[in-house]
């Protein structure tokens, strides 16, 4: 089993920055990819970006490309989501997820392990 816990959410003004963390524990050796998703009220959960824990390759949704960056610290089993130039439409609950198979995962169904989510609110 794998457990993931997000932290770092909060309230930020438009144009500001925020960094989220996601700490994994348990059978972390089984994780191939860590992903970030978000869900705004009344909307479906959507893919934000992901990072391969072996290849370190990253990929992002078009809506955040160039503004958000995912990185990892393998020694701490932690993945980060650096969010810059935040917009009101970035307001959502952000979730971290882990997947134990290879290849890219863009859908929530591609991930098995989920955190509880952390709220990010961007005020205008």
Q: In the sheet that 18-26 helps form, which strands lie side by side, from edge to edge?
A: 2-7, 18-26, 78-83, 68-73
The sign of the dihedral angle between the CA atoms of 73, 35, 81, 23 is negative
Compute the radius of gyration of the chain from its Cα atoms.
Answer: 13
Quote the pLDDT of residue 54: 82
| Mean per-residue pLDDT over the chain, rounded | 95
Q: For residues 61-72, give the mean pLDDT.
A: 97
- Does position 16 have pLDDT exceeding 90, yes or no? yes
> What percentage of residues in the chain have a pLDDT greater than 90?
89
| pLDDT given for residue 56 in this prediction | 78
Q: Is there a contact between 53 and 32 (Cβ–Cβ < 8 Å)? A: yes
Sign of the dihedral through C-alpha 78, 26, 98, 115: negative
Res. 39: pLDDT tops 90: yes
Per-residue pLDDT of 73-103, as tens digits, reads 988 999 999 999 999 999 999 999 999 988 8
Q: Is the pLDDT of residue 117 over 90?
A: yes
pLDDT band at 32 (very low <50, low <70, confident <90, very high): very high
Q: What is the pLDDT of residue 106?
A: 95
């Amino acid at each position: 089993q794998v457990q993931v816990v997000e932290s770092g959410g909060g309230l930020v003004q438009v144009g500001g920055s925020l960094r989220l963390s996601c700490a994994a524990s348990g059978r972390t050796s089984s994780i191939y990819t860590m992903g970030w998703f978000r869900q705004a009220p009344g909307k479906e959960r959507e893919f934000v970006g992901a990072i391969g824990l072996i290849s370190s390759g990253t990929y992002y949704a078009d809506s955040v490309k160039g503004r958000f960056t995912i990185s990892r610290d393998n020694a701490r089993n932690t993945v980060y989501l650096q969010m810059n130039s935040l917009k009101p439409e970035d307001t959502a609950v952000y979730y971290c997820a882990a997947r134990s198979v290879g290849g890219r995962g863009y859908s929530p169904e591609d991930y098995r392990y989920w955190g509880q989510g952390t709220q990010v609110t961007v005020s205008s």
